[in-house]
Amino acid sequence: MIDPWDVEEVDYERLTEEFGIRPIDEEVRELLPRSFPLLDRGIVFGHRDYDSFLKDYNDGELVSVLSGMMPSGRMHLGHKTVVDQLVFYQQEMDVKVYVPIADLEAHHARDMDLDRAHRIAVEEYVLNYAALGLDLDPDRCEVYLQSERKTVQRMALLLAGRLTWNTVKNTYGFTGETNMGHAFAPIVQAADILHPQEIEGPHRVLVPVGVDQDPHLRLTRDIAEKEDLIKPASTYHRFMTGLTGGKMSSSKPNTAIFLTDDPETAKEKVWNAKTGGGATLEEHREHGGNPDECVVYELMVYHLADRIGGDEKLREIRKKCREGDIICGECKRMVGEALAEMLEELERRREEVRDELPDLLSQHPDAPEVPEDW
Ligand code: TRP
Ligand code: SF4
């Protein structure tokens, strides 16, 4: 069982073997109209029906992309992976993007006050989405609250009839103590995913998410079949390792780089991060390090490759690391600099879009407004 509300370590191999998530192979990648670094670098590693989505796109059929956000804490680099994908589909492939804000889920599953969820959604998430390059023009993107969008709510209430309590209970491990709001969250999410077909007619919707969300997709695909709708496609990306080696988590600031961290703080976090280097310098020089066990290397692959010299540079660092020809201090300095640069740029972009945001959001009928003290 995968529990979307309590993710432990993920065994990606097993996922593809046991749950029917298909690996992203050369055949799939060839369908892409242009290169997609997140896929090429193996960060997006698996999918369901992604090939069908791409074929429909290549045939000029209507397709859209949808991925929700849970406004429950600060946005960190792990969240950025999703946004980078949304931006790719919107900017490079001109596909419309839907962004549900899962305020109801945050409320029922995370005990979050709704007003606070709306504030976090705007200040922390939507602002950063825009700063990362998502165009909020309502023709190209729809941002909405689960608690506001009628179509989603009506669909959720209707689709609920397609699921038995046993299915939901077994899929998520719910018990008699689970509150009904939480138990209903997967149905609201299914409605999120299926509602673009209600608005625009039947078409393939792609949902890029972390693997923890796959149970929701399996249920949604079953429901779609029963409703004679087109099954959503999905892609799955790897989670970033936390800086200290475990999970990257908003509630543990030392494990994550937040998009609003100031550059110096971020550098310090990188300096203290877990690497795959040898126990001592001599050992490292002699036996080399292991980039696959190294969070600093992971930061390069996920978010900084283009700033430090692209795939060629990544390969070079891998090789040098293995042979002990580069030491962790050098990597950390380089990653710290690149990261600081990225965060500074992001801060500048946030300030640029901040003024436009109230007007942009007002064009999205079901989106939260900016807080009064904006
Ligand atoms: N459950 C998702 C999360 O925890 C948020 C979400 C809500 C979502 N609706 C969605 C994700 C639809 C993908 C598609 O982050
Ligand atoms: Fe990681 Fe670089 Fe150290 Fe290798 S040398 S373990 S890549 S920090």
pLDDT > 70 in the chain, percent: 99
Give, to the nearest 10 degrees, the angle between helix 180-200 and helix 214-226. 60
Q: Regarding the domain with residue range 12-243, which homologous superfamily does it belong to in the CATH classification? A: HUPs (3.40.50.620)
User: CATH 3.40.50.620 occupies which residues in the chain?
Assistant: 12-243
Q: Which ligand is nearest to the CA of 330?
A: 2
The 3-class SS string of 87-124 reads: HHHHHHHCCEEEEEECHHHHHHHHCCCHHHHHHHHHHH
User: CATH 1.10.240.10 occupies which residues in the chain?
Assistant: 253-353
Ligand 2 center–CA 142 separation, angstroms:
41
Take atom 3 of ligand 2 and give the residue whose Cα is closest: 328
Q: Which ligand is nearest to the CA of 73?
A: 1
What is the pTM (predicted TM-score) of this model? 0.96
- Determine phi and psi for 208, rounding to 5 degrees: -85, 120
pLDDT exceeds cutoff 90 at 247: no
Helix (H) or strand (E) holding 64: strand 63-66
Cβ partners under 8 Å of residue 103, min gap 6: 71, 112, 114, 117, 118, 121, 145, 146, 147, 368
pLDDT exceeds cutoff 80 at 18: no
Query: Confidence class of residue 19 from pLDDT cuts 50, 70 and 90?
Result: confident
Q: What is the DSSP letter of 283?
A: H
Task: Compute the 3-state secondary structure of the chain and give helix, strand, coil in percent, each to the nearest 5.
Answer: 55, 10, 35
Tell me the CATH architecture of domain 253-353. Orthogonal Bundle (1.10)
Query: Confidence class of residue 110 from pLDDT cuts 50, 70 and 90?
Result: very high
Residue to substitute in 67, 101, 146 for testing ligand 1 pocket (most ligand atoms within 8 angstroms of CB): 67
> In angstroms, what CA-CA distances link 96 with 88, 135, 137, 341, 354?
11, 10, 10, 30, 22
What span, in angstroms and rounded, lies between the C-alpha atoms of 366 and 368? 7
Assess whether the C-beta atom of 67 lies below 6 angstroms from ligand 1: yes
pLDDT exceeds cutoff 90 at 13: no
Per-residue model confidence as pLDDT tens digits over 20-70: 899 999 999 999 999 999 999 999 999 999 999 999 999 999 999 999 999
- Name the one residue in this structure whose structure tokens are 């709001």: 181
Ligand 2 center–CA 326 separation, angstroms:
7
Per-residue model confidence as pLDDT tens digits over 194-240: 999 999 999 999 999 999 999 999 999 999 999 999 999 999 999 99
